[in-house]
Amino acid sequence: MADPQALDEVVEFTSGLIRIDTTNRGGGDCRERPAAEYAAERLAGAGLEPRLLERTPGRTNVVARIAGTDPAADALLVHGHLDVVPAEAADWSVHPFSGEVRDGVVWGRGAVDMKNMDAMILAVVRSWAREGVRPRRDLVIAFTADEEASAEDGSGFLADAHPELFEGCTEGISESGAFTFHDGAGRQIYPIAAGERGTGWLKLTARGRAGHGSKVNKENAVTRLTAAVTRIGEHEWPLRLTPTVRAALTELAALYGIEPDFRDIDRLLEKLGPAAKLVEATVRNSANPTMLDAGYKLNVIPGEAVAHVDGRYLPGGEEEFTSTLDRLTGPDVAWEFAHHEVALEAPVDAPLFALMRDAVREFAPEGHVVPYCMSGGTDAKQFSRLGITGYGFAPLKLPEGLDYQALFHGVDERVPVEALHFGVRVLDRFLRTA
């Protein structure tokens, strides 16, 4: 990329988007519209015709299409979300919605999740407009609402109500991939996501006999609930290898000169050292209790108690997940999905993956690109309803000591300016060749 203005704009846009508070607490009070208008204005400045779409007033999505030079080629979806998780200002070194640029770093909620990628997309598109560049295949650019909750007002709404906007799209890229992972021994690894665990957010409800807190009660809803929650929290899920995780382990083992023994995954992970962090959360299903709600007075035994559990399951692991929850909750506790989305798997031998690998290598020749599976989920789940295969590709070159994964939803979220510059260059190179 020979356009220095794009390098300035990616920093400006990251900071500008952070300053727009799009906190999504999950109760429907988020308003992404100001950020959507910010993005749409900059797309329009690149000669595009962005559409602003809402299911709920204020929960705004932006979609635009860039025509490619080959009308016979499949289209590519490039998407990012505009909402962010809450941030408590008192816990931060800088105000989380200041977008402050200090000592070569952009600070604020969304700096890595994922207003940085939104800014990269805008910077590349505007650079192309100035240079007269057109991609080979159509690109559909989408900025979505509500990713940090149910996506019902965002990608879910777009996929269900406006599938025509994504006509021809067969593949897509978004967050959580192509970032620098330092292994502590001098190696720089760039994991590109080619899968996601499924989402199984659960609501557990225990019912019992209400009564006085001083009386014996063998039908105590709180006791029943906490027993089930304890069983879930202490459960050891069995190891399972999906094709993406197997590919990740194979490439990591080769990098370290290890013979991969898939009969003893725990031992293999030990041999990988710090690099095991890229894989260890995706070799099994998981279920973590996160919220409890019971009672209204200390000396009253309530007739109902509720808990919530963040469950995730591997591709092909949903049946095991649900049958295990049936067993762990037992006869006295009912459970249901509060939010339920599919697990995803994308081929790592696809031409698009090779192009992503090449783009990273051009600007980080010392890096080692490997596939991996995300432990969480993205809007790729909803777009998969349209037959779109999703990858995580939001490139960042990060310095050693900056724990990228800990910054997701963490305190003092931030991104180096140089990382944004790297991301723009890699994204530009990839999208020109895709």
Query: Distance from CA of residue 302 to its chain's centroid?
Result: 38
CA atoms within 13 A on the CB side of 360: 26
Which residues are CB-neighbours of 130 under 8 A, at least 6 positions away? 3, 5
Query: Distance from CA of residue 238 to its chain's centroid?
Result: 24
User: In 3D, which of 71, 96, 92 has the Cα closest to residue 84?
Assistant: 96
CA atoms within 13 A on the CB side of 314: 23
Cβ-based neighbour number of residue 74 at 10 Å: 14
Mean pLDDT of the chain: 96
pTM over 0.85: yes
Is 403 labeled as catalytic in the residue annotation? no
Q: Which of 147, 171, 341, 413 is catalytic?
A: 147
Which of the four pLDDT bands, split at 50, 70 and 90, describes residue 46? very high
| Intervals of CATH 3.40.630.10 along the chain | 4-176+378-433
The answer on pLDDT for 387 being more than 80 is yes
Structure-block tokens of residue 91? 């816990």
What was the pLDDT predicted at 7?
97
- Distance, in Å, from the CA atom of 269 to the CA atom of 284, rounded to the nearest integer, reads 13
CA atoms within 13 A on the CB side of 197: 25
- Distance, in Å, from the CA atom of 43 to the CA atom of 424, rounded to the nearest integer, reads 16
Which residues are CB-neighbours of 3 under 8 A, at least 6 positions away? 127, 130, 131
| Intervals of CATH 3.30.70.360 along the chain | 198-341
Q: What phi-psi label fits residue 343: left (phi over 0), alpha (psi between -120 and 50 degrees) or beta?
A: beta
What was the pLDDT predicted at 1?
61
The answer on pLDDT for 238 being more than 90 is yes
Amino acid at 42: R
In this predicted model, what pLDDT tens digit does every residue of 156-197 receive, in sequence order? 999 999 999 999 999 999 999 999 999 999 999 999 999 999
- Distance, in Å, from the CA atom of 13 to the CA atom of 7, rounded to the nearest integer, reads 10
Q: Which residue has the tokens 């794009």?
A: 6
In this predicted model, what pLDDT tens digit does every residue of 53-87 receive, in sequence order? 999 999 999 999 999 999 999 999 999 999 999 99
What was the pLDDT predicted at 142?
98
What was the pLDDT predicted at 407?
86
Q: Which of 9, 12, 83, 113 is catalytic?
A: 83
Which of the four pLDDT bands, split at 50, 70 and 90, describes residue 406? confident
Is 319 labeled as catalytic in the residue annotation? no
Instruction: Decide the pairing of beta strands 300-301 and 211-212.
Output: antiparallel
Q: Which residue has the tokens 């997701």?
A: 408
In this predicted model, what pLDDT tens digit does every residue of 306-323 receive, in sequence order? 999 999 999 999 999 999
Question: Are the C-beta atoms of 205 and 334 separated by less than 8 Å?
Answer: yes
In this predicted model, what pLDDT tens digit does every residue of 353-372 receive, in sequence order? 999 999 999 999 999 999 99
Provide CATH code, domain 4-176+378-433: 3.40.630.10
Q: Which residue has the tokens 């607490």?
A: 25
The answer on pLDDT for 2 being more than 80 is no
Provide CATH code, domain 198-341: 3.30.70.360
Structure-block tokens of residue 80? 């990012």
Handedness of CA 299, 305, 307, 313 (dihedral sign): positive
